[in-house]
Copies of this chain bind each other. A is one copy, B any other.
């Protein structure tokens, strides 16, 4: 597909994701890690306005100079009169105004794309589209959080069904040999700077599971007292359990003795064959320890990913998020994209059921802080 076609397709998908929402659902921010849907809509448009239209499209007139403050996610340089505020406290611009802003930016972008931009600018646009696809996934997870933390438990889609796991019938752990493996992105097409560059890694022999842990398997951990025994947990994980009185994954509710969970279809009895979801790194690691195993490293995962199905859950790895050899930040604001987060976060590999089509590849490195549960995360065991 040509770039204009890609642009239209990606931009439309963002709006399609929001279609089932009421105006009020676009506004709230129940926790700091969740952004209001209307902020995502504005911020992804601001990206194209700021990095493409203003510097490269000479005839472009900025939609509203104040939007720069509202939709900039890098608050480092703020003017003297601006009031610092949280995204979820902003009723204005309204949803209608933000859709107008999107439409305005899209019209300008489509005109600009007719003029055959340079290769450098085309690459920036592709970065913008990948950026928007990341926000599409965040829209899905943030919408789930907003509706799933409302006491009325409204459905996002009555027809939602959790994806099934295609399991290797043999179900034996995959054996991987010791040796040098090549890790990192090397092909054509788009990748983020944190996937570069292709380099050699020496791996010891290991085994990795062809399947992800299910709700039924995780329930065994709960029923065995997993949340009450500090020996399975990192010290910091155990503090998290005790401080928050955690006894189950996010969205699980024990109602009158029976386990329920919130899905996009509303609150319902847990389907035990579902792939486990919404556990943080501490929980993933504690479960693995209880099983006498461990999580794979991100290098083990990438080296063996050709041997199993993936793409339903982001899979926690035992690897901290660190730069690859030779990693170099791009100059300017674009260079702030990944490098500055390379501390105290853990790598996740794979992709999830709400990852945008075409936005997953075997070298993709996702990363989150170890206490976060709101993504569609899962567990694959290694040993």
Q: Is A12 an interface residue (CB 8 A)?
A: no
Q: Is A177 an interface residue (CB 8 A)?
A: no
Determine the chain B residues whose CB is within 8 A of the CB of A236 once the complex forms: 343-344
Contact with B along A231-254 (1 / 0, CB 8 A): 101111110000000000000010
Q: Which of B29, B81, B152 contacts A255 (CB 8 A)?
A: B81
Q: Is A281 an interface residue (CB 8 A)?
A: yes
Contact stretch, chosen from A1-9, A19-27, A116-124, A373-381: A19-27
| Identity of the chain B residue whose Cβ is nearest the Cβ of A235 in the assembled complex | B340
Residues B92 and A343 in contact, CB atoms below 8 Å apart: no
Contact stretch, chosen from A44-52, A166-174, A209-217, A320-328: A320-328
**A23-B24, A28-B91 known; A151+B322 contact, CB < 8 A:** no
| Identity of the chain B residue whose Cβ is nearest the Cβ of A339 in the assembled complex | B234
Determine the chain B residues whose CB is within 8 A of the CB of A92 once the complex forms: 22, 24-25, 147, 150, 152, 154
Determine the chain B residues whose CB is within 8 A of the CB of A128 once the complex forms: none
Q: Is A63 an interface residue (CB 8 A)?
A: no
Q: Which of B82, B93, B150, B199 contacts A204 (CB 8 A)?
A: B199
> Number of A interface residues, CB 8 Å?
73
Determine the chain B residues whose CB is within 8 A of the CB of A282 once the complex forms: 343
**A27-B27, A204-B199 known; A149+B94 contact, CB < 8 A:** no
Which 6 pairs between the two chains have the least Cβ-Cβ distance?
A320-B320, A30-B89, A24-B91, A202-B202, A204-B325, A25-B91
Question: Can you name 28 A-B pairs with beta carbons within 8 Å?
Answer: A22-B91, A22-B92, A22-B94, A23-B23, A24-B91, A24-B92, A24-B94, A25-B91, A26-B91, A27-B27, A83-B150, A83-B151, A88-B88, A88-B89, A90-B150, A90-B151, A91-B146, A91-B147, A92-B154, A199-B204, A200-B204, A204-B326, A234-B342, A234-B343, A235-B341, A320-B322, A343-B346, A344-B370
